[in-house]
A and B are shown apart, each in its own frame.
Chain A
Amino acid sequence: MNIVVLVKSALDEGELRADSEGHPILVGAATKTSNFDMNGVEEAVKAKESNGGTVTVLSLGGQDAKKAIKEAMAMGGTKGTHIVTGPEDAPDSLATAFCLASVIKRIPELDVIFCSEGSSDTYQGQVGAMVAEFLGVPFLAYAKNIRLQAGKVTCEQNFDGRVVVSEARLPAVVSVVSEANVPRYPTLLQVMVAGRKPIEDIAFGSLQVPEYPRTGTKILGIYAQPSDRKKTMLEGSPTEASRKLVDALRSEGLI
């Protein structure tokens, strides 16, 4: 089975700092593999373990994307492909999807492409659907309980409180929700072995992204969410203050 999984090196939101005006400091910001992508990788590796075949880990981005690819390879990915962008490239979701689809098209007898529901930094959730469109294959969004059998994929999707069971023919793109599985920890030996495997580099410029219609999205500003802590001072003797505390907790529905 020829399986592809898409991963992204995302901004590490835990390390992100804001400047005095509340703008995140993006220059030199720490990155990590997008959390949700680990669920996509886990699903891809499980599919390989059940059906045999290969898992190609594919990522587009700067040098940090290699870290994400290696992590996915340590979890069980067979080989890695990196579409290398430079600092000036900054492709948006559509250009990213075009490039990913262009590289995926080179894989003969493709069976399934896994991706996550969205990246843990921008969470736009667009790339998977766009890749499916470029490839002309079905797209199953927000999937869990995924089963691959005899040329088709079935899954469950939660929509508006209902569980929808969907089926699509293969090849298909499947976006995996975080509750679909628990990603495995690669052991040290798996990390070492993955570290030694080569990754195929493809220059972003070589993919000849057409003068595609821009998605029309434009980021006007990014701000840190203000988080003022609610403070309440309870005055009075310890007995009075504790009574007020109990009342306050009750009024908040906490006890």
Chain B
Amino acid sequence: LKSFSALHESVLVSQYGQEAETGAALLRGVDLLLQEKVAPFSLALDRGGSTIDGPRRALFEHGLCRMPYPAELGGAGAKFGVFAMAMELVGSADASTAMSIGIHNTVAEAVARFGTPEQRERLLPGLLAGEKLAAFALTEPSSGSDARSMHTRATKGADGYVIEGSKMFITNAGEADVYLVFAATSGGHGAFLVESSNSGLKVGGELGKLGMRGSHTAEVRLVDCHVSAGSLLGKEGAGFEYAKQLLDSSRIVMGMICVGIARAAYDRAIAYSKARELFGKRLSDLDLTKEKIADASIGINAARLLCMQAARLKEAGKPYSSEAAQGKVFASETAVRVCDWAIQLFGGYGYTDEDIHRHWRDARLLTIGEGASEVLRLLIASRELEREG
């Protein structure tokens, strides 16, 4: 059942040298917890027979969300890449839990990086401890990839802002204590920290998703939603820039979640290929299967390295938009391909057994969410052309 392997350890050593051991110790601890408190509930979560709160709480209490933040903010001071690798392990144990925590962390990162001292003091302890759950509200019913054209507006008044609009496909909707809502303002775009207790924030019905069924996703409407001036994250006008930077970071995490999903399906497929016999041979003895195993393994390992390279650039304070997007595109498309192959290998059982096809259903989100592959390819090309120019 162990998920953290010598291969992960070798990636840590190549990236962090002597500091790798602390990262490895952290990941071994996370892995143990996942095997006991998360993985056993994953199928039930997909079927709607369990709630995400238990697995998520176990990880929060363990301190997962503290991992990449400095000690002075209440964090554990680990490398971002180690956190990204932890999210691979979570993705492998349960994709929905990983998705929920990944989105939560994006908001925690927003407060840590762009929040005012007052916002950090008020919100960060709860967010890092997981006592407060967060949601990231950027996408709208009529604008996903084209986020800049958002219709949600925040109008400045005497004692704050009034937000009007609608946000779509919001992970953790209905459960979150705080929503990071992006809105157009007279000075550009703003990001607002809206508490769930605000009567102007209304959560729609649960969306019937293909995958990631353990996590909650809904529309969030902002109707005459009054917020104080202190709810504005950082500076007015910088909201869209914040969103771009947060998504760059989040794409590394989402890419690593995809690596975890792919590995979960891959491990199942490998075990099945050794057990299932066809024409007097095991499936794993057939050359066609071997080719697929090799391709899946190459894809998974390459995806991990691409995401970890982006993590290393982020840690070094260098530009990493293109690399993060590359990691996310490659990892999500690899995950879909590997999970699809796993269904094919299992044949009729793959198509009918939720425990097999759920991996494909989970992976399928991530070629769309947090930047669709098509848009990310445009971003990558644009960054690469700038670099060469």
Question: Which residues of A line the B interface, CB within 8 A?
Answer: 14-15, 30, 32, 66-67, 70-71, 74, 185-189, 191-192, 194-196
B11 within 8 A of A: no
**B25 touching A195 by the CB < 8 A rule?**
yes
- Known interface pairs A14-B2, A15-B6. Does A188 touch B21 (Cβ–Cβ under 8 Å)? no
**B25 touching A70 by the CB < 8 A rule?**
yes
- Known interface pairs A187-B63, A188-B67, A189-B66. Does A195 touch B29 (Cβ–Cβ under 8 Å)? no
Cβ–Cβ < 8 Å partners of A74 in chain B: 25, 29
Cβ–Cβ < 8 Å partners of A14 in chain B: 2
Q: In the complex, A30 Cα to B7 Cα: how many Å?
A: 11
Question: Which residues of B line the A interface, CB within 8 A?
Answer: 2, 5-6, 21-22, 24-26, 28-30, 32-33, 61-64, 66-67, 76-78
Q: In the complex, A196 Cα to B77 Cα: how many Å?
A: 11
Q: In the complex, A194 Cα to B30 Cα: how many Å?
A: 16
- Known interface pairs A14-B2, A66-B21. Does A191 touch B26 (Cβ–Cβ under 8 Å)? yes
**B64 touching A191 by the CB < 8 A rule?**
no
**B62 touching A192 by the CB < 8 A rule?**
no
Identify 15 residue pairs between A and B in the complex whose beta-carbon atoms are under 8 Å apart, listed by A's number: A14-B2, A15-B2, A15-B5, A30-B6, A67-B21, A67-B24, A71-B28, A185-B29, A186-B29, A187-B29, A187-B63, A188-B62, A188-B64, A191-B22, A194-B25
**B62 touching A185 by the CB < 8 A rule?**
yes
**A70 touching B76 by the CB < 8 A rule?**
no
Interface residue SS majority, chain B: helix
Q: In the complex, A196 Cα to B67 Cα: how many Å?
A: 15
Cβ–Cβ < 8 Å partners of A32 in chain B: 28
Output the least CB separation between B273 and chain A (Å): 16
Q: In the complex, A199 Cα to B78 Cα: how many Å?
A: 20
Output the least CB separation between A69 and chain B (Å): 11
User: What 4 pairs across the A-B complex have the smallest Cβ distances?
Assistant: A188-B63, A195-B22, A187-B63, A192-B76
- Known interface pairs A66-B21, A195-B21. Does A188 touch B26 (Cβ–Cβ under 8 Å)? yes
- Known interface pairs A185-B62, A188-B66. Does A71 touch B25 (Cβ–Cβ under 8 Å)? yes
Cβ–Cβ < 8 Å partners of A70 in chain B: 21-22, 25
**B78 touching A188 by the CB < 8 A rule?**
yes
B22 (CB) vs chain A CBs: closest residue: A195
Cβ–Cβ < 8 Å partners of A195 in chain B: 21-22, 25
Q: In the complex, A70 Cα to B2 Cα: how many Å?
A: 20
Output the least CB separation between B18 and chain A (Å): 11
Q: In the complex, A188 Cα to B22 Cα: how many Å?
A: 10
Q: In the complex, A2 Cα to B81 Cα: how many Å?
A: 39
Output the least CB separation between B1 and chain A (Å): 9
Q: In the complex, A109 Cα to B77 Cα: how many Å?
A: 37
Q: In the complex, A71 Cα to B26 Cα: how many Å?
A: 10
Q: In the complex, A14 Cα to B3 Cα: how many Å?
A: 12
**B25 touching A187 by the CB < 8 A rule?**
no
Cβ–Cβ < 8 Å partners of A71 in chain B: 25, 28
**B25 touching A67 by the CB < 8 A rule?**
yes
A31 (CB) vs chain B CBs: closest residue: B6
Q: In the complex, A189 Cα to B77 Cα: how many Å?
A: 9
B62 (CB) vs chain A CBs: closest residue: A187
Output the least CB separation between A191 and chain B (Å): 5
Output the least CB separation between A14 and chain B (Å): 6
**A188 touching B2 by the CB < 8 A rule?**
no
Cβ–Cβ < 8 Å partners of B29 in chain A: 74, 185-188, 191
Q: In the complex, A30 Cα to B4 Cα: how many Å?
A: 12
**A185 touching B21 by the CB < 8 A rule?**
no
**B21 touching A192 by the CB < 8 A rule?**
no
Q: In the complex, A15 Cα to B7 Cα: how many Å?
A: 12
Output the least CB separation between B278 and chain A (Å): 16
Output the least CB separation between B330 and chain A (Å): 28
**B25 touching A185 by the CB < 8 A rule?**
no
| Choice from A30, A185, A188, A194 contacting B32 with Cβ under 8 Å | A185
Cβ–Cβ < 8 Å partners of B28 in chain A: 32, 71
Cβ–Cβ < 8 Å partners of A188 in chain B: 26, 29-30, 62-64, 66-67, 76, 78
Q: In the complex, A74 Cα to B25 Cα: how many Å?
A: 9
Output the least CB separation between B274 and chain A (Å): 11
**A189 touching B6 by the CB < 8 A rule?**
no
Q: In the complex, A123 Cα to B315 Cα: how many Å?
A: 43
Q: In the complex, A5 Cα to B24 Cα: how many Å?
A: 23
User: A185-B29, A192-B22 known; 15 other A-B pairs, CB under 8 Å?
Assistant: A14-B2, A15-B5, A15-B6, A67-B24, A70-B25, A71-B25, A74-B25, A187-B61, A188-B30, A188-B62, A188-B66, A188-B76, A189-B63, A191-B76, A192-B76
Output the least CB separation between B105 and chain A (Å): 13
Output the least CB separation between A70 and chain B (Å): 6
Output the least CB separation between B289 and chain A (Å): 20
Output the least CB separation between A149 and chain B (Å): 33
Q: In the complex, A32 Cα to B77 Cα: how many Å?
A: 24
A12 (CB) vs chain B CBs: closest residue: B2
Cβ–Cβ < 8 Å partners of A30 in chain B: 6
| Choice from A15, A67, A189 contacting B76 with Cβ under 8 Å | A189
A32 (CB) vs chain B CBs: closest residue: B28
Q: In the complex, A192 Cα to B62 Cα: how many Å?
A: 12
